[in-house]
């Protein structure tokens, strides 16, 4: 992780701890409505993982294309100043059983389920639901929600594990100021995917014959506070839905074993690969941070499981390009392929040549990528004008 991002993360954790401490001392938040924020789980028919968070206060409403930067900033501050509920009891019901779990200091809870009977095969999709209910603290009204769980069907031929920032969505993580503007002053409408990404990911999801249901997982170091923004962004842009495996930036977060950006990603990649032992995977990332190194290690640790590694080239530094090319040679020796791609079309061409997407899908990716090179959307144009006018 870059020094500035580490500093920002440390600052966020300290600020979060101070806010929680003051709320506890002053008794703030006790009269705000309780809610369960359920995240997308995943698993196979007989074993699945789910995660949720118990919070006080109403959720941030969906964004609108016309929202000003000030509305966006207010919404983002609300997400990061979350009023979490530690020690809450949540009952999770699933086929044939239930579990009661307790939230940690940051309000998170998670568990593995073993449904009996197992989740039924779903011929027209891959999503199932489990029920969640708050048992404690007491609430004047029932607090319930459902969590969606991705269970890949039998026709899945491979899976996709993808980064988000500067891989799917333009974030400019290399620029502190630009990243802050994109994250805090924009919303799901103003955030922009790279040209052709939506068409390419849909092609991977549907496979060479166009009828498969290949699962797509998103493993990112973005905080869980942005879950709703990222989920809404994927839906708005027509990018396949999938579990979002994000990070806790709170004071109590800790990566068991290896820590930080690489530890978070490696741990989740390992979990996914071990949970689906017969399914090969395609890994997609970018050159801006550590994705090439992380994916190289995944290839070494899991021989013959990684079909290909696609790295979007967002770093033009010659030494970085040389380092990734050296990793590509090692990946090839390990029995896989690393493609350093300047655009989405380059990765799509390799996928088509390898038989993972169809020729028609490749043509669509190229056509859509060309069309999306047009000027930015009206929502993004308005945001940029407001930024310039306000000198934010």
Are 174 and 87 members of one domain?
no
Q: Which of residues 117, 150, 183 is at a domain's end? A: 150
Q: Give the pLDDT confidence score for residue 390 in this predicted structure.
A: 54
Is residue 261 included in any domain, yes or no? yes
Can you give the CATH number for the domain in which 235 is found? 3.40.50.1000
Are 122 and 205 members of one domain?
no
Is residue 7 included in any domain, yes or no? no
What value does the mean pLDDT of the chain take?
87
Whether the predicted pLDDT of 87 surpasses 60: yes
Name the nearest CA neighbour of 126 among 241, 272, 268. Answer: 241
Are 299 and 324 members of one domain?
yes
Q: Give the pLDDT confidence score for residue 125 in this predicted structure.
A: 66
Q: Give the pLDDT confidence score for residue 254 in this predicted structure.
A: 44
The interaxial angle of helices 260-275 and 291-301, nearest 10 deg, is 40
Q: What is the mean pLDDT of residues 67-77?
A: 94
Is residue 384 included in any domain, yes or no? no
Domain region containing 56: 29-150
Are 187 and 120 members of one domain?
no
Q: How far apart are CA 171 and CA 186, in angstroms?
A: 11
Q: How many structural domains does the chain have?
A: 2
Is residue 388 included in any domain, yes or no? no
- pTM of this prediction exceeds 0.85: yes
**How does pLDDT run across 312-358, given as a tens digit for each residue?**
999 878 999 999 999 999 999 999 999 999 999 999 999 999 999 99
**How does pLDDT run across 55-69, given as a tens digit for each residue?**
999 999 999 999 999
215 close to 242: Cβ distance less than 8 angstroms: yes
Are 62 and 113 members of one domain?
yes
Is residue 186 included in any domain, yes or no? yes
Whether the predicted pLDDT of 15 surpasses 90: no
Q: How far apart are CA 200 and CA 362, in angstroms?
A: 8
99 close to 130: Cβ distance less than 8 angstroms: no
Can you give the CATH number for the domain in which 54 is found? 2.60.40
Whether the predicted pLDDT of 146 surpasses 90: yes
Which parts of 6-126 are beta strand (E)?
34-38, 41-44, 47-56, 83-84, 89-94, 97-102, 108-113
**How does pLDDT run across 231-281, given as a tens digit for each residue?**
999 999 999 999 999 998 764 444 444 467 789 999 999 999 999 999 999
Burial class (CB in 10 A: 0-12, 13-18, 19+), 116: exposed
Whether the predicted pLDDT of 26 surpasses 70: no
Is residue 193 included in any domain, yes or no? yes
**How does pLDDT run across 112-140, given as a tens digit for each residue?**
999 999 988 766 668 999 999 999 999 99
Are 80 and 193 members of one domain?
no
Provide the 3-class DSSP secondary structure of residue 176. helix
Q: Could you tell me which residues are beta bridge partners of residue 216? A: 160
pLDDT range class, residue 387, cuts 50, 70, 90:
low
pLDDT range class, residue 289, cuts 50, 70, 90:
confident
Is residue 16 included in any domain, yes or no? no
Q: Could you tell me which residues are beta bridge partners of residue 341? A: 312
Are 107 and 124 members of one domain?
yes
Q: Give the pLDDT confidence score for residue 175 in this predicted structure.
A: 62
Percent residues over pLDDT 90 in the chain? 74
Are 305 and 198 members of one domain?
yes
Are 275 and 345 members of one domain?
yes
Q: What angle do CA 90, 93, 97 make, to 5 degrees?
A: 120
Are 144 and 189 members of one domain?
no
Are 263 and 290 members of one domain?
yes
Whether the predicted pLDDT of 173 surpasses 70: no
Whether the predicted pLDDT of 164 surpasses 90: yes
Are 196 and 138 members of one domain?
no
What distance, in Å, lies between the first and last C-alpha atoms of the chain? 26
Is residue 350 included in any domain, yes or no? yes
Q: How far apart are CA 161 and CA 66, in angstroms?
A: 33
Whether the predicted pLDDT of 1 surpasses 50: no
Provide the 3-class DSSP secondary structure of residue 134. strand
């Amino acid at each position: 992780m870059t020094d500035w991002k580490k500093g920002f993360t440390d600052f966020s954790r300290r600020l979060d701890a101070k806010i929680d401490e003051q709320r506890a001392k002053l008794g703030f938040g006790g009269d705000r409505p309780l809610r369960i924020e359920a995240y997308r789980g995943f698993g196979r028919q007989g074993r699945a993982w789910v995660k949720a968070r118990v919070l006080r206060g109403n959720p941030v409403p969906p964004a609108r294309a016309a929202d000003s930067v000030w509305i966006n900033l207010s919404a983002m501050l609300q997400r990061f100043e979350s009023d979490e509920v530690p020690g809450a009891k949540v009952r999770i019901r699933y086929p044939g059983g239930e579990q009661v779990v307790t939230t940690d200091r940051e309000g998170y809870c998670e568990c593995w389920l073993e449904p009996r009977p197992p989740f039924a095969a779903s011929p027209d999709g891959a999503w199932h639901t489990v029920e969640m209910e708050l048992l404690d603290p007491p609430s004047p009204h029932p607090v319930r929600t459902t969590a969606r769980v991705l269970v890949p069907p039998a026709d899945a031929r491979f899976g996709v594990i993808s980064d988000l920032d500067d891989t799917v969505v333009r974030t400019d993580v290399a620029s502190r100021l630009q990243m802050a503007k994109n994250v805090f002053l924009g919303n799901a409408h103003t955030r922009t995917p790279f040209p052709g990404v939506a068409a390419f990911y849909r092609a991977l999801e549907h496979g060479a014959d166009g009828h498969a249901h290949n699962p797509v997982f998103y493993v990112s170091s973005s905080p869980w506070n942005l879950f709703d923004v990222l989920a809404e962004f994927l839906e708005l842009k027509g990018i396949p839905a999938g579990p979002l495996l994000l990070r806790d930036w709170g004071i109590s977060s800790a990566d068991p074993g290896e820590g930080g950006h690489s530890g978070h990603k490696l741990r989740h990649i390992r979990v996914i690969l071990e949970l689906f032992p017969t399914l090969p995977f395609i890994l997609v990332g970018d050159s801006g941070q550590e994705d090439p190194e992380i994916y190289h290690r995944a290839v070494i640790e899991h021989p013959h499981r990684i079909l290909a590694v696609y790295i979007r080239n967002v770093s033009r530094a010659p030494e970085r390009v040389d380092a990734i090319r050296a990793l590509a040679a090692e990946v090839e020796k390990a029995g896989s392929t690393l493609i350093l791609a300047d655009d989405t079309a380059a990765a799509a061409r390799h996928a088509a040549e390898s038989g993972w997407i169809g020729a028609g899908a490749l043509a669509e990716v190229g056509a859509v990528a060309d069309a999306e090179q047009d000027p930015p959307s009206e929502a993004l144009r308005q945001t940029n004008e407001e930024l310039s006018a306000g000198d934010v």
